[in-house]
Amino acid sequence: MQTLKRVGVDIAKSVFHVHGVDDEDRPQWTTKLKRDEWLEAVCQHLRPGGEVGMEACASAHHWARLLQARGFRVRLIGAQFVKPYVKSNKNDAVDAEAICEAMSRPAMRFVAVKSVAQQDGQAAHRIREELVGQRTAKANQIRGLVGEYGHRRASRHPATQAGLAALAGRCRERTDV
């Protein structure tokens, strides 16, 4: 039953659409599978060392590592490179076919599969970047509020704390009256 050379998979939350082709690039397998059964089904239909393509999106690296551990060649493609191969109205089955088509192109650019350590590092950087942005936004908000009370402070973080202390002092003065 392992006759397919290439499979395109459209990953979703609970249902995965799969499109597989044979050596002559003829569609041989198009189906919709549940999250807990798609991996085994692909292993049954795809020959050892066959190619599996997915859009580089949430959970794609996880699935890619599982497929690589089973001996398959995994190709992750950026969504912007799959879009030109969508032949009709966009839906999950058409996306799986487009992924399968896109990965057959010799000049296609693929995304490298990340290890767990690489993903952890990237997540830490993204979280830190977001926290720095939130801190800056809050400091700017506080400086604006302090400025409404006539205080002008430098934009550095410690100065913003001093401005907040000045604002708190004014608020205490108003409540003491």
* Whether residue 108 sits in one domain with residue 32: yes
* Whether residue 124 sits in one domain with residue 107: no
Query: Who's near 140: CB < 8 A, 6+ residues apart?
Result: 155
Q: Burial of 93 by CB count in 10 Å (0-12 exposed, 13-18 middle, 19+ buried)?
A: middle
pTM of the model: 0.76
Cα dihedral value 163, 168, 172, 175, nearest 10: 110
Residues 143 and 113: their CA atoms lie apart, in Å, by 44
* Whether residue 157 sits in one domain with residue 89: no
pLDDT (0 to 100) of residue 160:
62
* Whether residue 123 sits in one domain with residue 110: no
pLDDT (0 to 100) of residue 166:
72
Domain housing 171? 118-176
Look at the chain and count its residues. Answer: 177
* Whether residue 166 sits in one domain with residue 135: yes
Average pLDDT of adjacent 10-residue blocks, the chain of 177 residues: 87 92 91 92 91 92 95 94 86 90 92 94 95 90 80 63 70 66
Cα dihedral value 113, 116, 117, 119, nearest 10: 70
Sheet holding 73-77, edge to edge: 27-34, 15-21, 4-10, 46-55, 73-77, 110-111
pLDDT (0 to 100) of residue 157:
62
Residues 135 and 166: their CA atoms lie apart, in Å, by 19
When divided into structural domains, the chain yields a total of: 2
Question: Could you tell me if 141 and 120 are in contact, meaning their C-beta atoms sit under 8 angstroms apart?
Answer: no
* Whether residue 108 sits in one domain with residue 124: no
pLDDT (0 to 100) of residue 148:
82
